[in-house]
Structure 1
Amino acid sequence: MPSISKEKYNELETRIKRIFTTEMEITDFTGDTVPSTQELPDKNRGLIITNCTILFVDIRSSTKLSDKSQAKNMAKIYRAFARSMSMCVYESGGRVRQIAGDRVMGVFVDDAEENSVHKAMVAAQAILTVVEYLFNPLCRKNVSNKEIECGIGLDTGRVLTTSIGMKHQGEDSRDLVWAGKTANVASKHTDLAEAKEIFVTKRFYDKLTQPFKTDSEGNSIWKKGYRVKGDSIFEGYGAHAFYLNELVEEMGGEPEEKRATASSDVSIESEGIDTSQIVTNIVHGVESKVDGLLSNFEQVVLREVSVTAKENQAEQKQQELHRREQVVKKKEDDLKKKEQDIEKVLAYKKKELIYDVRMTSLRDRTNNMKLQDFLIELKEVQNLGAEIGKKPGTVHNDLYVWQIVTYLHRNNESELAFRILVEQLLEDLPYASIPLESNSVTIIKKVGREKEYLQAVLHHIQHHNPSVQDVLRLRNVLKELGMEKEIVHYPGLFIE
């Protein structure tokens, strides 16, 4: 089974890295024909086209193109459709740059004689005309009486194009990609276009000249509207059945729907019938009914106006009431939040006061307390401190850490005294080098934790930037612990 080899995998990795890490060369497009892959080799190079118009056209869903259609027939329809659309694009001065099943993309650029917007507009009209007068009649006749409807989307603007794909073993899969908002929006407008409709963006419509905007009687051809696709709203202008008149005449007739309307007109010119009297009777009958309706119409209109005015007043009052309710609710929410904030501050101040009272009391009585009572109250004060955001080391500082350590050592709680000494160093608390060095040395030696103390000292120096005086104090403690050899290996402690 064919598979990608390790060698090819490495080659692919190299090429991908080259694409991602090589600066892309961007130049302005100066030609008057749509660029092709021959003008953009397989490298990080792109062309900026300032005035570029993109056209998409695809087949709309139709009950006449059902699931019962044979694959052969559908293939014929797709081939004929792509050929027809491509011809319309090319003959209007554009280039086909993508065909995907029932979807064709045309690209147009300005040249010395015509701008891209007008070229694309002519192509769109030609597409609708060819589908209506040439494609569908032939399709109905030759492919099981089937026909198609299509929608067209257009946008114009600035586009970046670059070459993608590769040549491989004689195969050439290269194509151009059209990056930027213009191509994407044109595609979205195609999806939103109705059958037999050209749906264009506002910027495209604004660039059209008057002959493309109104008919021979001066009526607007286009209808402005907003359409939704997914989470996005698209503004645009739509024109239905906007055909090329000269092409229609050459193909011999009017649009099919117009022919249907004309053929459905009933002729009343028949033998033995007084047509003028029939028309007169119809007119008189209509007039009598209209007079009867008009007699009450004015009163109905006045009542409708009155009701509408009252409804508007009620709606305005309702909106004003709703607005006031929202203002009151906001004020209530603000007051509630302020009350909650005040309660939090008061609760914190209360806890802070309780802590200060209990801490001061314990600090004043420490030296005269029994060890068991001291440890119980110390734990309680630490818990009170935690409720107001104080770490145990900060609580020890408030209680005078040198007093606590001396007291614990005196009452044979050297292990706890040692932990407090290390805690001061690790948390960068005040008086980290205090209590007195003599007490520190005695406590550390008693618990036999000289190396652990050394690590705490090194952490303090590396992370908390102590003063030179504090470093000297800590160094003296280490000397008295007999750790002078270890000191020389640590530059932070080596101070002469």
Structure 2
Amino acid sequence: MEAQVNKIFSEQWSERKGQNVPSAEALRLSNDAVKLHAVVLYADLSESTKLVDTKNDFFAAEVYKTYLHCSAKIIRSQSGEITSYDGDRIMAVFIGDRMNSRAAKAALQINDARLNIINPILKKNYQSSNYEVQHTIGIDSSDLFVARTGIRGSNDLVWVGRAANHAAKLGSLSNDYPTRITQEVYQKLSDDCKFTNGKPMWEQVTWNPMNRTIYRSTWHWSVS
């Protein structure tokens, strides 16, 4: 371990600009990195600790599976790349044309799937349960530094940059507003992702802990 730590801190980095979301196999375990500008989305199931502490294991697993399945299908439909599953949440990266709008639309569609697919079917199968799936989604954009970390036979990518951290933090806020995006994302949205029949879908607020302007929404976008 001492030898490897010394090597990591002393070895020069090999960097290149990325045109696509890299796979782990595209990077070496040495100090090798891809730099790209991207939008990061974190979709996070709310109160999962309470869920597993108070419900049967199979019920909690079904909630996890249905939420992550719908989120993944929608993210893929908007040409987002799923980069990780972390228990009750999913991380995705969007690059290229309309990446901000595609990420925002995916978030609103995940909210629609939660409201109009997951919860109604859950209620149909568990009529005596008062449980409802709640979630939060955070989206930010920035330059990212992507490297491979771990050991041989057990490794993954680490996403270094503001968007990865802030999107995750936005995804941990209260679920009274299921979707939150940063000002940088909002400013690049197409009009159809900002307004519906002339009505704004987003409310501007200040994210005090990070001293940033963000936009939050309770809207949903039909997946049908």
Q: TM (normalized to structure 1)?
A: 0.42
1:97 aligns with 2:83: yes
1:40 aligns with 2:23: no
1:107-148 superposed Cα distances (whole Å, 9 cap, x missing partner): 1111xxx33112212211221111111111222223563320
- Which amino acid counterpart does residue 136 of structure 1 have in structure 2? N
Cross-structure match for 1:153: 138
1:205 aligns with 2:186: yes
Query: Contact conserved, 2:105 with 2:193, CA < 8 A, in 1?
Result: no
- Structure 1 residue corresponding to 2:221, chosen from 239, 243, 246: 243
- Which amino acid counterpart does residue 110 of structure 2 have in structure 1? I
User: Once the two structures are aligned, what percentage of the paired residues are identical?
Assistant: 25
Pick the structure with more strand per residue. Answer: 2
Q: Give runs of aligned pairs for residues 280-295 of structure 1, distance below 5 A.
A: none
Deviation of 1:193 after TM superposition, in Å, equals: 5.0
Pick the structure with more helix per residue. Answer: 1
Q: Give runs of aligned pairs for residues 451-470 of structure 1, distance below 5 A.
A: none
Computing the radius of gyration over CA atoms, which structure comes out larger, 1 or 2? 1
1:19 aligns with 2:2: no
Distance 1:102 1:66, change over 3 A: closer
Which gives a bigger RCO, structure 1 or 2 (Cα 8 Å, sep 6+)? Answer: 2
1:289-314 superposed Cα distances (whole Å, 9 cap, x missing partner): xxxxxxxxxxxxxxxxxxxxxxxxxx
Query: How well do the aligned residues superpose, as a CA RMSD in angstroms?
Result: 2.0
Aligned partner of residue 172 in structure 2, secondary structure: helix
Alignment gaps of 5+ in structure 2 = none
Query: Contact conserved, 2:138 with 2:171, CA < 8 A, in 1?
Result: yes
State how far apart, in whole Å, the 2-side matches of 1:68 and 1:234 are: 36
Cross-structure match for 1:227: 207
Query: Contact conserved, 2:203 with 2:215, CA < 8 A, in 1?
Result: yes
Distance 1:46 1:40, change over 3 A: same
Q: Give runs of aligned pairs for residues 26-425 of structure 1, distance below 5 A.
A: 26-31=15-20, 34-50=21-37, 52-61=38-47, 65=51, 67-110=53-96, 114-143=97-126, 145=129, 146-167=131-152, 172-195=153-176, 197-216=178-197, 218-229=198-209, 232-244=210-222, 247=223, 250=224
Query: Contact conserved, 1:78 with 1:102, CA < 8 A, in 2?
Result: yes
Deviation of 1:149 after TM superposition, in Å, equals: 0.9
Deviation of 1:15 after TM superposition, in Å, equals: 2.0
State how far apart, in whole Å, the 2-side matches of 1:134 and 1:213 are: 24
- Which amino acid counterpart does residue 178 of structure 1 have in structure 2? W
- Which amino acid counterpart does residue 203 of structure 1 have in structure 2? E
State how far apart, in whole Å, the 2-side matches of 1:194 and 1:78 are: 17
Query: Contact conserved, 1:29 with 1:47, CA < 8 A, in 2?
Result: yes
- Which amino acid counterpart does residue 125 of structure 1 have in structure 2? L
Query: Contact conserved, 1:53 with 1:154, CA < 8 A, in 2?
Result: yes
1:133-190 superposed Cα distances (whole Å, 9 cap, x missing partner): 11112222235633201111100121111111122xxxx3211111011111111222
State how far apart, in whole Å, the 1-side matches of 2:66 and 2:80 are: 19
1:72-123 superposed Cα distances (whole Å, 9 cap, x missing partner): 211221122222211221121011112111121111111xxx3311221221
State how far apart, in whole Å, the 2-side matches of 1:128 and 1:138 are: 15
Query: Contact conserved, 2:41 with 2:91, CA < 8 A, in 1?
Result: yes
Query: Contact conserved, 1:223 with 1:237, CA < 8 A, in 2?
Result: yes
Q: Give the count of matched residue pairs.
A: 221
